[in-house]
Amino acid sequence: MSDPVQRVLFIGLGVMGYHMAGHLSGQFHTRVFNRTATRAQQWLKEFEGEHCTHLGPLPEDLDIILTCIGDDRDLRQIYFGNAGLIANASPGTILIDHTTASADIAREIAQSAKARGIGFIDAPVSGGEQGAVNGQLTVMCGGEPAIFERAKPVMDVYAKAINLLGSAGSGQLTKMCNQIAIAGLVQGLSEAIHFSEQAGLDAQQVIDVISKGAAQSWQMDNRHKTMIDGKYEHGFAVDWMRKDLGICLEEARRNEAKLPVTALVDQFYADIQAMGGKRWDTSSLLERLRNRRS
């Protein structure tokens, strides 16, 4: 049996990673790295840990390195090259990537890591900032079962559900399914609220009724009040959703999946961006309907 995990490094202290690393600091000897050093310094004022000021060479005593950064391009910069994680991590280390990215980059990292005796799990998350704060994220994983079993206790610290879906890339593919489903749900909820308003109904009363039946969803339960009030500062930003939907649509072109609703909602989010709502949360699809003139 492998020795228990004791030392971790978390790379990427953004909206999600900041809190995920915070949870880890209560259970493990935790180091953090962020490209903007002031963010890491801010984290250290709130949580117990160390600031890792560079990634090459890495501390030799690390058991697991976790990343939660931007996109495929950022992953290439962090993982590959002479200063990258794969070149500098010690054999036996496990790399866990929580970035939402393509399945291709996950497979590429997994292959390169395996050649050096390093484990890798692609593990995108769902649950938003609140899920990260509360340690209630859902984690979708791809990788080898033995590596997953060693990595799982670390992810348990900030997750309510962790599942291995298949080989490398399967976590990313599952996250694509998640975003596809959310896109349709939010548009449907937006249309229902908009229709109720146009029909002269009390939108809150309508939601109170239909949320008790088949129309109920997490989005309805958690977003309808702020949507009705026209407040869109409570979740995943439109810019980020468009990045994710772009990944979904690109994969669909490759595997010949038909995503007509997803493609349409992606264009609706482009309209939101044009309205100045790049940083509004994804429920702002309602604002597009309220302001649509055609």
The catalytic residues are 175
Residue 23, classified by CB atoms within 10 Å of its CB into exposed (0-12), middle (13-18) or buried (19+), is buried
In this structure, how many other beta carbons lie within 10 angstroms of the beta carbon of residue 199?
9
Neighbours of 38 (CB within 10 A): 8
Helix (H) or strand (E) holding 7: strand 7-11
- CA–CA distance from 148 to each of 76, 107, 136, 153 (Å)? 22, 15, 19, 9
Q: Longest C-alpha distance within the chain, in Å?
A: 65
Q: How far is CA 30 from the centre of its chain?
A: 21
Q: How many CA atoms lie within 13 A of 130 on its CB side?
A: 6
C-alpha–C-alpha distance, residues 161 and 139, integer Å: 6
Q: Note whether 139 and 155 are within 8 A (CB).
A: yes
DSSP 61-99: T-SEEEE--SSHHHHHHHHSSTTSHHHHSPTT-EEEE--
